Amino acid sequence: MKNTFGNNLTVTLFGESHGEAIGCVIDGIAPGIRVDRAYIDRMLELRKPKGRISTSRHEADSYRILSGVYEDHTTGTPICIMIENTNTRSGDYAALNVIPRPGHADYTAQLKYHGFQDYRGGGHFSGRITAPLVAAGAIVMQALESKGIYIGTHISSMGDIKDRDFEDYISDIEDLYDREFPVLDESVEDKMRAYIEEAASKGDSVGGILKSAVIGCPGGIGEPWFDSVESMISHAIFAIPAVKGISFGDGFSLGRMHGSEANDAYRMSGNGVITTTNHNGGIGGGITNGMPIEFSTVIKPTPSIYKEQDSVDLKNGVNTKLKIEGRHDPAIIHRARIVVDAMTAIVIADMLVTHYGTDYLCNTDL
C-alpha cells in the first residue's frame, strides 16, 4: 500500500481528513534551497475554501516543518511537514461507514482496506490531504523559480463558459497567483461563480477543465517510454482527487488534424531552436523541446452532493437511498488549480534531478 511518488525526489503522504494531523515527507531534495514561509502561506491560502462556492469547513492550515530546514534553507535531509486538523465534525459521516457515496472512494476503500479504513471525511482519500502536497510543492516551486522555471494553471472552461488561453506566459502566471479565482479573463469570473452557486442552490455540484503551463524548462528532459514527460505528469496529476482526464497540447483535437496541421515546425531563434506552434505541448517523444509544457486536466463534479441518491447498505446487503449531511464543496476546481501546480512542480523537479543530479536545485550563491 504505497503513498510515495517520485524517483529521485520523492514525496510521501500521511494522515486522514479527520485524524489528528496530515502531512508529507520530502526526500532527495537538495541542500541550500531557500524556504520562504510567506510563499508557502500564499500557496496554502489559494487552496483554502472561499465563500458560497466552497465548503464551510475552514482549517487554519498552520503547518510545522519538523525536519530538513534550518535557518530558512533546506539541509538536504528529509523534510517533514505536518498540518493539524482543527475543525472536524465526524458525526456528519457516521452513515457513510455502511452506505457509500456514489462517485466517491467510500466503497472502493471498503474493498481495499476490508472495513478498517478511517472513513470520516473521506479519510485518506479526502481532498484535505492535498494541503501538505501544496506545502511540499511550494518549497519545490521556489527552487524551480530560482532556475527560471514557472508554473501556472487557470480554469479553461466550466460548463459552456470559457476563459481565454495563455498569451504572455510570464505575465499571465504572475497574475494567476494574485487571484483567488484562477481565470485569465476577469470578465468570466462572475459567470463561473454564478454557475457554481446555481448548482449549489439545487444541492448539486459542477466540474470543469484546467489548463496548465510550465515555462523555462530546458529541452532534453524526460525518459523515453515509461518515464516520459507525459507519463510522469499524468501519474502525478491523476493522484489528485476528482481528476478524470489529462491531455497535452491540443490533446484530443489532434485526432481530428492532418499531420501538416499537427506538426510543430522548427525554426532558429537567436542561438536556439523554437517551434512556430505548440500543438504537442512542448513535448516530443516524451522529452521536453524547450517550448512551454502545456496540458489540460478534467476535474469532475464533487461527488458529495445534497440530492438524494441511490446507494446500498453494505451492512444489511440491501438497496437504499442516501441523502448526505456535512460540509462539502459544490466545486473544487478553483481550489484544485494550486494542487495541480504543486504536483507539476514536484514532477518537473524530480525529472530535472534525475537528468542533472540532485545538486541541480542547490542555491549555488551561498
Task: Tell me if the pTM is above 0.85.
Answer: yes
3-state SS class at 44: helix
Distance between CA atoms of 126 and 105, rounded to whole angstroms? 9
Distance between CA atoms of 249 and 29, rounded to whole angstroms? 29
pLDDT at residue 147, rounded to an integer: 96
Helix/strand number for the chain, H first, E second: 8, 18
The per-residue pLDDT for range 14-56, each reduced to its tens digit, is 999 888 899 999 999 999 999 999 999 999 999 988 878 887 6
Beta-carbon contacts of 2 under 8 Å, excluding residues fewer than 6 positions away, are none
The H or E element containing residue 260 is helix 259-262
pLDDT at residue 333, rounded to an integer: 96
Do 35 and 64 touch, CB atoms closer than 8 A? no
Which residues, listed in sequence order, are joined to residue 153 by a DSSP beta bridge?
212
pLDDT at residue 51, rounded to an integer: 78
Which residues, listed in sequence order, are joined to residue 315 by a DSSP beta bridge?
none
The per-residue pLDDT for range 124-165, each reduced to its tens digit, is 888 889 999 999 999 999 999 999 999 999 999 999 999 999
> What is the radius of gyration, based on Cα positions, of the chain?
21
Do 159 and 330 touch, CB atoms closer than 8 A? no
Identify residue 361 by its one-letter amino acid code: L
Beta-carbon contacts of 344 under 8 Å, excluding residues fewer than 6 positions away, are 137, 151, 153, 212, 214, 233, 236, 237
**The CATH number of domain 4-361, selected from 3.40.1280.10, 3.60.150.10, 3.40.50.720, 3.30.565.40:** 3.60.150.10
- Which is it for the CA torsion 156, 158, 159, 164, positive or negative? negative
The H or E element containing residue 152 is strand 150-158
| 331-350 average pLDDT score | 97
| 346-357 average pLDDT score | 97
Please measure the distance between the N-terminal and C-terminal CA atoms of the chain and give it in whole angstroms. Answer: 40
| 83-102 average pLDDT score | 78
Q: Does 121 score more than 80 pLDDT?
A: no
3-state SS class at 28: coil
